[in-house]
Chain A
Amino acid sequence: MNRVVITGAGTINALGNDVPTTLAAMREGKCGIGPLEIRDLDRLSVQIGGQVRGYDELSHFNRQQIALYDRFTQFTLLAAAEAVAQSGLSFAGELSARSGVVLGTAGGGVNTWDENYRSVYEEGKNRVHPFVVPKLMNNAAASHVSIEYNLKGPAFTVATACASSNHAMGLAFQMIRSGMSTVMLTGGSESMLCFGGVKAWEGLRVMSKDACRPFSATRNGMVQGEGAGVFVFEDYEHARARGAEILAEVVGFAMTSDAADIVMPSKQGAARAIAGAISDAGLPRDCVGYINAHGTGTAANDKTECAAVADVFGPHADSLMISSTKSMHGHLIGGTGAVELLACIMALRDGVIAPTIGYEEPDPECALDVVPNEARDAQVDVVLSNAFAFGGFNAVLALRRI
């Protein structure tokens, strides 16, 4: 089995338009959540989100590109550009044929659906732009990354709601580990902060109207975010041979299904995924120093997740750190695991554990070290990233310092 390392990272999200800015914001415990700036906001009861602010698509893309790139594709391409530049790779010949892209998104081109439904239903138009379909399709982002970087191997999109990115990165890891690919661009993207995208979530009555406070007894729901995270996963020997800078090693992945309820999480399903990722890595459980939690800030997720961690780790659960950066960038749904992987890399490389901000009051059902409100300096060797989706799908990645 081949070892798999990360040699590039890129992002755009509510905390910053690149990785250094995002990590600095996480270190400072900055909150990227604020009042939404979208059309028809007055008809929404939830009016906050982790929005990418001051974003001007015309400063990044020309008119022809914008006709084809939904906001989630634009975010993906910006994140991919940063990641590929950091890796120093260019794809030609045999490497091109053995490299691919697998990305997660839950909704794909939600803004494109929203704008065009509005135009035909509300404004009564009978004609839409010819590129509506290629713009809104869930695989548009992966396709444009493949086109942009000449990636001719496996390329596809994973849509497993809030676990999409982790599933995507897990599959990219397995493809390189098994020898199917040499390099995979992977991660995910989401952009559903538009009237229809927020209205749909409002319906579930699980959204907070003021803040995302994971693990705090005062938490009152989740807050949506948007953006993308893209990584370059590479065969370790290939990376070493070319003298690439290695950010971290991906050592394990597990996915499970609760096979139970369409929205309520299951402790057993989550625990099996957490334990599975560690066992896939071939490591003892007590070497895990940090977990980037799914930590949505809902009543149901946070207590279930803490119970699952307590079950898997036993007494060691009290000595590891677990934080939810969703408190800062919001829940990026299908893109969330990708942005959260940045906190894992920061923990391993910089020895800085991102905090759970907005924490006000301990909850006896979430009695773990959730790194409240302030980042912490700590050396950790192995970290996990949790993602648990509606539909009962769980995906957990394990990373190691290198």
Chain B
Amino acid sequence: MKNVRVWFKKIGTARYISHLDLNRCMLRAIHKAKIPLWYTQGYNPHAFITFPLPLSLGISGERESMDMKLDDDLITREELIEKLNAALPDDIPVFDVTEPVMKPGQIAFASFVMKVDTDNPEVTAAEISELFSREKVVVPKRTKNGFIDLDLKPYLDRTEVISRSGGVEINTILPAGSTMNVNPSLLCDAIKKYLQLDLYTDIQRMNIYDADFKIFE
């Protein structure tokens, strides 16, 4: 039995599938690729795969990961990558398979690039920068117990707003993982609430880090 961490992208059309659907899609691909997966030994055996940090619907991921247990230690990294890619849709390409180094629980931050659609990048960028420098930026956040008011301000230290020719780019690193998680779409909610700007924003998750900003491996 061997634990492996599969690294893939979730881009293009694959952005629009939920975590549950991704899970099913991966199981089908593993079955199709005839990868010797370890099955749980219980009454109703099932394959065992987990995702260290699931991605929200609509956001693309450049460095996503999935952990699985193999029944066979001999299959090589190259074989796994090739077999999985042959079995997955084009928009979920696998680019690496490694041994897990960190535990999923160590994940603390994720970095995002947010591309905001606007005809007037300079003005919009200035407005967003001003908003993010205010004392308080409060947005409603949905939790298990209903909506709460969340002040984003403490989490905006590692956020920069840049005016580009096609629109505004926001580069940000936000808390992520099981203890504290800030969804980047909350930044869009703030822009909508405070600036009355309902702008289409393309969000990419670029990377994942632990509490010391070491890249998740």
The answer on A and B forming one complex is no
A interface, CB within 8 angstroms of B: none
B interface, CB within 8 angstroms of A: none
